[in-house]
Amino acid sequence: MPDRVQAVDFQAGKLVLLDQTLLPSEKTFLHLDDVADVWEAIKLLRVRGAPAIGGAAAYGLYLGVRGVPDDAGMPAFMAKLREVRDYLASSRPTAVNLFWALDRLVGVAEAATGDDVAALKARLLDEAHAIKAEDEAMCRAIGEHALTLFDGVDAVLTHCNAGSLATMGIGTALAPVYLAAEQGRTIHVFSDETRPLLQGARITTWELDQAGLPVTLITDGMAATVMRRGKVQAVIVGTDRVAANGDVANKIGTYGVAILAHEHGIPFYVAAPSSTIDFATPDGDAIEIEERDPDEVRRLGGRQTAPADIGVFNPAFDVTPARYVTAIVTEKGVVTAPYPENLRKVVLGG
Which positions ≥6 away from 340 have C-beta within 8 Å?
Answer: 244, 245, 246
**Could you give the C-alpha distances from 119 to 34, 54, 71, in angstroms and in order?**
21, 23, 11
Cβ count near 301 (within 10 Å): 6
Sequence letter at residue 111? A
Q: Nearest 5°: CA angle at 271, between 149 and 349? A: 90
- Cβ-based neighbours of 255, under 8 Å, separated by 6 or more: 318, 319, 320, 321, 324
Which amino acids are annotated catalytic?
240
- Collapse the DSSP code of 324 into the 3-class scheme (helix H, G, I; strand E, B; otherwise coil) and give the result: helix
Q: How far is CA 161 from CA 52, 194, 254, 289, 330, in A?
A: 12, 9, 11, 18, 17
140 neighbors 169 (Cβ within 8 angstroms): yes
Closest CA to 328 of 311, 310, 341, 315: 341
345 and 279 in contact (C-beta within 8 Å)? no
Could you tell me which residues come within 8 angstroms of residue 42 by beta carbon, excluding any fewer than 6 positions away? Answer: 53, 56, 57, 60, 88, 91, 92, 98
Contact predicate 42/53, CB 8 Å: yes
Q: CB 333: neighbour CB atoms within 10 A?
A: 17
